Amino acid sequence: MVDLIGGDYTDRSLTVLRDTGQVVAAEGPATHPDPRVRRLYVDPTTAALDELAAAVDGGELSVDIAQILPITELAAAHRRSESGRVRGKIVLTADR
């Protein structure tokens, strides 16, 4: 799972993670006592984003998507996220 929140969210995530699972944390300390936690330093350059895309394409990194909504449904997405019952990420799309 990917943790973009940090704080106690990382530790709470470990309680529902399979023994073989990993948490990739974009926030928080550089090290964690649980070896299933990996720290990801985000560098928003084209090269860094290409590396992340390659990890997804190569199956090294996966993201569970709960729902895909248009940006016009932002309020509904926010309410659903706040419910605490979402498993995975809510993705918002924008038309160009």
Residues 41 and 2 in one domain: yes
Residue 25's domain comprises 1-62
pLDDT at 96 over 70: no
Residues 90 and 53 in one domain: no
Determine the Cα–Cα distance for residues 15 and 9; give it in Å rounded to an integer: 10
Sort residue 28 into left (φ over 0), alpha (ψ -120 to 50) or beta.
Answer: left
> What's the total number of domains in the chain?
2
Q: Which of 1, 4, 30, 33 is nearest to 17 (CA)?
A: 1
Residues 69 and 51 in one domain: no
Coil vs helix vs strand at 44: coil
The predicted structure's pLDDT at residue 7: 80
Give per-residue pLDDT as tens, 46-83: 888 888 889 889 988 888 899 999 999 999 999 998 88
Residues 13 and 54 in one domain: yes
Give per-residue pLDDT as tens, 24-53: 888 878 888 999 998 877 667 888 888 888
What H or E segment, with its residue span, contains residue 92? strand 89-93
Residues 52 and 21 in one domain: yes
